[in-house]
């Protein structure tokens, strides 16, 4: 006979947090939201790669393109660039994030002096960068001859067939620095000379990198920015269990910081085999996430048999997901997180190895995020939250005077994410597990994220926690009755906006 679990499947709405002792130290400025993205041994917390903001974006076509990845890393989180696209285009998105900015950037816009102005315009369109290094043969690390910017020519007046050598600023008239200069010294040079860009050359005069003024300002206004040891933004990428060998190889070569299998069901031999292969091939240095699972047995499988760094939790809770309706598989997200977190804590106690957990999907408001973290998740993965922002890859649309953005599931026929399904690329999907929808536009990511972070920190202060570990340990939750929910909303008052709407 089938096993029936004792407790019913519960959602975040069914819980509230009790307040704990808030001391004078418990102020938002003292709260750290750093969260590990990598497994670590007891006492070696500092060796694990951490997020500064406990948010990662869903590996979805309508969510995690390069713009969102850049915006999120600047705010301390990390995007997982979707794998429902060719290896080449996924790698290109990762590349754009890695070369985007921060400190010493390898120039991705280079031309030989004999190239035409039209080539410079085409290159600018392709890369989005208006500073072009003029080098021997147009290489990124060959002899630097000068710099061409948009200020050096008039696109609609100059003869675009003329060579760039007639327009660029030659090296003799440029301010530049030698390799070995520190970022601080480079910034000082930019400031003293009122320049936008400082080329760095090696001892033979070959271009090494570029330092930009705007990167300095960006960095100052984003104190949580998440960068690697070369000051490049952090970015993750999703893998499937079909072409993971070639995909992972290409992504790792491009400098991706972490990988994660994108599957609605990670408790599978396909995922185990793929993770074991990657571990054998690349060792423990690469970060690999697995999932999704919804119970302790799935966690143990991915950790002990497959060897993941972090485990993603959630089936069927995503805002665009119809898996539970279509297949009857899933579990309330609160029950899933609580069950897996208990298994994680036991594993840590017994083996001394901490496995970070990610609560994925169904976080429909800031309170849900808070609950997921309180219940034991180290960070959360969100789709809708980010799909609504300016930086998601979809266009804004107006309907009845309001702005919307398209948002569709990876299991919808629109995503044509055939890798998730065993039917193969040539066959049509037999049924869908995701819908094609619209979400209200919520503006740029920065402000929205800041509000959510302010709420999380305020709650942690109420609970008496200054970091994620204390939040997990100190959180006391209670289940709520329907009447408690009603009591928690506004009661017996008329809200001003309702009176105003009814009055018109
Ligand atoms: P949400 O943040 O929009 O509620 O959910 C995003 C999550 O839903 C993703 O991270 C992924 O786990 C899941 N997802 C994506 N596509 C589908 C689908 O088509 C899906 N069913 O369930």
Q: Could you tell which of 236, 410, 419 is best to mutate to test the pocket of ligand 1, judged by most ligand atoms within 8 Å of the CB?
A: 410
CA of 195 to the centre of ligand 1 (A): 45
> Could you identify the atom of ligand 1 that is nearest to the CA of residue 361?
5
262 lines ligand 1 (CB under 6 A): no
Over range 191-206, report the average pLDDT. Answer: 92
457 — alpha (psi -120 to 50), left (phi > 0) or beta? alpha
Q: What is residue 231's predicted lDDT score, i.e. its pLDDT?
A: 81
Given pLDDT bands bounded at 50, 70 and 90, which one contains residue 417?
A: low
> Could you identify the atom of ligand 1 that is nearest to the CA of residue 364?
4
Protein residue with its CA nearest to atom 17 in ligand 1:
409
383 lines ligand 1 (CB under 6 A): yes
Residue 311 has pLDDT above 80, yes or no: yes
In 121-183, DSSP assigns E strands to 132-135, 144-148, 169-170, 177-178
Q: Which of 253, 252, 362, 365 is nearest to 313 (CA)?
A: 362
Torsion of CA 50, 52, 55, 61, to 10 degrees: -80
Protein residue with its CA nearest to atom 22 in ligand 1:
321
433 lines ligand 1 (CB under 6 A): yes
Cα separation, 81 vs 297, in Å, equals 28
376 lines ligand 1 (CB under 6 A): no
266 lines ligand 1 (CB under 6 A): no
CA of 316 to the centre of ligand 1 (A): 8
Given pLDDT bands bounded at 50, 70 and 90, which one contains residue 254?
A: very high
Q: Please report where in the chains the tokens 């808070």 appear, as a residue.
A: 370
Q: Please report where in the chains the tokens 């804004």 appear, as a residue.
A: 396
> Could you identify the atom of ligand 1 that is nearest to the CA of residue 407?
3
Residue 424 has pLDDT above 60, yes or no: no
Over range 312-340, report the average pLDDT. Answer: 95
- Greatest mean pLDDT among 92-106, 169-183, 220-234, 400-414: 400-414
> Could you identify the atom of ligand 1 that is nearest to the CA of residue 312?
12
Contact 92, 70 (CB under 8 A): no
Q: Could you tell which of 60, 381, 433 is best to mutate to test the pocket of ligand 1, judged by most ligand atoms within 8 Å of the CB?
A: 60
Pairing of strands 207-212, 197-201: antiparallel
Q: What is residue 422's predicted lDDT score, i.e. its pLDDT?
A: 46
Q: What is residue 421's predicted lDDT score, i.e. its pLDDT?
A: 47
321 lines ligand 1 (CB under 6 A): yes
Known catalytic residues are 321, 420
Q: What is residue 489's predicted lDDT score, i.e. its pLDDT?
A: 82
By CB atoms closer than 10 A (0-12, 13-18, 19+), residue 503 is exposed
Residue 26 has pLDDT above 90, yes or no: yes
Residue 428 has pLDDT above 90, yes or no: no
23 — alpha (psi -120 to 50), left (phi > 0) or beta? beta
CA of 424 to the centre of ligand 1 (A): 21
Over range 461-483, report the average pLDDT. Answer: 97
> Could you identify the atom of ligand 1 that is nearest to the CA of residue 415?
19
Residue 498 has pLDDT above 80, yes or no: no
> Could you identify the atom of ligand 1 that is nearest to the CA of residue 385?
2
Residue 461 has pLDDT above 70, yes or no: yes
Pairing of strands 477-479, 15-17: antiparallel
67 lines ligand 1 (CB under 6 A): no
Q: What is residue 423's predicted lDDT score, i.e. its pLDDT?
A: 47
Q: What is residue 129's predicted lDDT score, i.e. its pLDDT?
A: 83
Residue 217 has pLDDT above 90, yes or no: no
CA of 263 to the centre of ligand 1 (A): 10
Percent helix, strand and coil across the chain, each rounded to 5?
40, 20, 45
410 lines ligand 1 (CB under 6 A): yes
Contact 97, 69 (CB under 8 A): yes
Cα separation, 254 vs 231, in Å, equals 15
Longest dimension (CA), the chain: 83
Beta bridge pairs of residue 82: none
Cα separation, 17 vs 467, in Å, equals 16
Given pLDDT bands bounded at 50, 70 and 90, which one contains residue 251?
A: very high
Protein residue with its CA nearest to atom 8 in ligand 1:
318
CA of 490 to the centre of ligand 1 (A): 31
Write 299-307 long-range contacts (CB < 8 A, 24+): 299/340, 299/343, 299/344, 299/347, 299/355, 300/343, 300/347, 301/267, 301/272, 302/266, 302/267, 302/271, 302/272, 302/275, 303/347, 303/355, 305/272, 306/271, 306/272, 306/275, 306/276, 307/275, 307/276, 307/279
CA of 394 to the centre of ligand 1 (A): 16
Beta bridge pairs of residue 434: 321
Protein residue with its CA nearest to atom 10 in ligand 1:
58
CA of 185 to the centre of ligand 1 (A): 45
Question: What burial letters (b/e) apply to 153-167, b meaning 16+ CB within 10 Å?
Answer: beeeeeeeeebbbeb
Given pLDDT bands bounded at 50, 70 and 90, which one contains residue 495?
A: confident
CA of 7 to the centre of ligand 1 (A): 25
* Contacts of residue 366, Cβ cutoff 8 Å, sequence gap at least 6: 451, 452, 455, 456
Cα separation, 172 vs 193, in Å, equals 15
* Contacts of residue 493, Cβ cutoff 8 Å, sequence gap at least 6: none
Q: What is residue 179's predicted lDDT score, i.e. its pLDDT?
A: 87
Contact 86, 61 (CB under 8 A): no
Given pLDDT bands bounded at 50, 70 and 90, which one contains residue 486?
A: confident
Residue range 261-292, pLDDT digits in tens: 999 999 999 999 999 999 999 999 899 999 99
CA of 76 to the centre of ligand 1 (A): 22
Residue range 102-158, pLDDT digits in tens: 577 778 789 999 999 999 999 888 777 889 999 999 988 899 999 999 889 888 888
Cα separation, 410 vs 236, in Å, equals 17
Over range 382-390, report the average pLDDT. Answer: 97
- Identify the weakest region by mean pLDDT among 300-314, 347-361, 396-410: 396-410
Q: Assign 465 to helix, strand or coil.
A: coil
109 lines ligand 1 (CB under 6 A): no
């Amino acid at each position: 006979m089938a096993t029936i679990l004792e407790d019913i499947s519960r959602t975040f709405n069914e819980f509230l947090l009790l307040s704990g002792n808030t001391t004078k130290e418990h102020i938002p400025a003292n709260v750290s939201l750093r969260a590990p993205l990598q497994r670590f041994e007891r006492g070696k917390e500092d060796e694990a790669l951490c997020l500064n903001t406990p948010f990662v974006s869903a590996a979805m076509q309508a969510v995690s393109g390069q713009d969102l990845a850049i915006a999120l890393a600047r705010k301390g989180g990390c995007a997982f660039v979707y794998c429902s696209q060719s290896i080449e285009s996924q790698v290109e998105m990762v590349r754009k994030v890695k070369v985007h900015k921060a400190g010493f950037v390898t120039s991705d816009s280079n031309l030989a002096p004999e190239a035409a102005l039209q080539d410079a315009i085409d290159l600018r369109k392709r890369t989005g960068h208006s500073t072009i290094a003029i080098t021997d043969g147009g290489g990124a690390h060959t002899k630097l001859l000068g710099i061409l910017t948009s200020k050096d020519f008039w696109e609609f007046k100059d003869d675009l067939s003329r060579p760039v050598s007639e327009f660029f600023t030659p090296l003799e008239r440029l301010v530049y620095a030698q390799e070995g200069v520190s970022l601080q010294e480079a910034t000082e040079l930019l400031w003293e000379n009122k320049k936008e860009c400082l080329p760095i050359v090696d001892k033979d005069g070959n271009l090494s990198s570029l330092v930009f003024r705007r990167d300095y300002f960006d960095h100052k206004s984003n104190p949580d920015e998440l960068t690697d040891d070369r000051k490049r933004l952090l970015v993750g990428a999703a893998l499937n269990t079909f072409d993971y060998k070639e995909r992972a190889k290409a992504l790792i070569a491009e400098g991706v910081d972490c990988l994660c299998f994108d599957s609605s069901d990670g408790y599978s031999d396909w995922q185990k085999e793929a993770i074991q292969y990657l571990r054998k091939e690349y060792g423990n240095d690469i970060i690999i996430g697995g999932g999704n699972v919804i119970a302790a047995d799935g966690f143990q499988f991915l950790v002990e048999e497959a060897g993941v760094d972090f485990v993603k939790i959630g089936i069927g809770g995503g805002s665009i997901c119809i898996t539970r309706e279509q297949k009857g598989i899933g579990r309330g997200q609160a029950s899933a997180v609580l069950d897996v977190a208990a298994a994680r804590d036991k594993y840590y106690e017994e083996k001394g190895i901490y496995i970070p957990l990610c609560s994925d999907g169904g976080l429909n408001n800031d309170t849900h995020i808070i609950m997921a973290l309180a219940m034991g998740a180290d960070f959360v993965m969100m789709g809708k939250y980010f799909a609504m922002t300016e930086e998601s890859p979809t266009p804004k649309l107006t309907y009845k005077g309001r702005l919307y953005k398209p948002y569709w599931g990876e299991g919808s026929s629109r995503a044509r994410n055939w890798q998730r399904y065993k039917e193969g690329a040539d066959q049509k999907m037999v049924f869908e597990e995701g819908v094609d929808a619209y979400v209200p536009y919520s503006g740029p990511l920065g402000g929205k994220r800041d509000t959510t972070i302010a709420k999380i920190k305020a709650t942690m202060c109420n609970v008496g926690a200054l970091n994620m570990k204390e939040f997990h340990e100190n959180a006391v939750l209670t289940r709520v009755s329907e009447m408690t929910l009603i009591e928690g909303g506004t009661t017996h008052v008329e809200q001003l906006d309702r009176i105003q709407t009814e009055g018109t």
